Amino acid sequence: MGTEINRGGIPGRGKALILGPALITGIALTGHALPALTTIAPLRRKLFPKLSGMSESCAVALTFDDGPDAKSTPLFLDRLDKFGWKATFFMLGSMAEKDPPLAREVLSRGHEIALHGYEHNNLLWKSPRATIEDIRKSLGTISEIVGKHPRFYRPPYGVFNAQALMTANDLGLTPILWTAWGRDWRAKATPQTVINDLVKGIRPGGTLLLHDSDCTSAKDSYFSALGALELLEQRTSARSLHIERLCDHFGD
């Protein structure tokens, strides 16, 4: 968990592609694990800026992974309401199944629902068939619960395999990672360390990653992300930067 490589559009038909169909096919033919190289942030930001969540928007996209979680997600929703922010929540199908009303509440409060897989497992260790089953199961589960087909997909740990990219393309999902993350999943994280790690993404067109649940992280680590939102508000206000959802970041 100590490095980005270990932790963590293709919009619907007729939209511009994040990677492009030819590149997706080439990756698939080259090897199952090759897309995992996109977890190397400097390489990803340089070669695949859109996959890194970089757009031409004048605002910053804010995203959360691993929820919804009854003990923590409501705290984030209230804090976002306090600042008047709307964000994108990458939900795990298994977590949404535990609390369907909370998943629907996230949507009803103006936030975007996105896909994070069904279980939080590294796709490098999944076969192509298991990868397809995980993505399809999570898509079916979350779509049924919230009544809406998610547009964006981010795999656990930010690690793609070739089959995940092909399946996302087939299902009209946009694969997306992040420009900067707060490493808020660590036991030693604090609001200040989180905001320090987010610095590269606090700029027009950047995408930030935090976690609204500790279900796959150190116990109570979500408090560091929650506290960092206050610091993020100070940083963005000082620079007159707006916070937005990914659907706004890349347009409809």
Residue in the block written with tokens 């959802």: 245
What does the buried/exposed string (b/e) look like for 80-117 if buried means 16 or more CB atoms within 10 Å of the residue's CB? beeeebbbbbbbbbbbbbebeebbbbbeeeebbbbbbb
CA distance from start to end of the chain: 34
Alpha carbon of 83 to those of 79, 87, 92: distances in Å? 7, 11, 25
Residues labelled catalytic: 65, 211
Residues listed for the chain: 252
Taking the CA of residue 19 as centre, how many other CA atoms within 13 Å lie in the half-sphere pointing to its CB?
25
Closest CA to 184 of 202, 173, 198: 198
* C-alpha–C-alpha distance, residues 237 and 231, integer Å: 10
What is the C-alpha separation between 132 and 168, in angstroms, rounded?
9
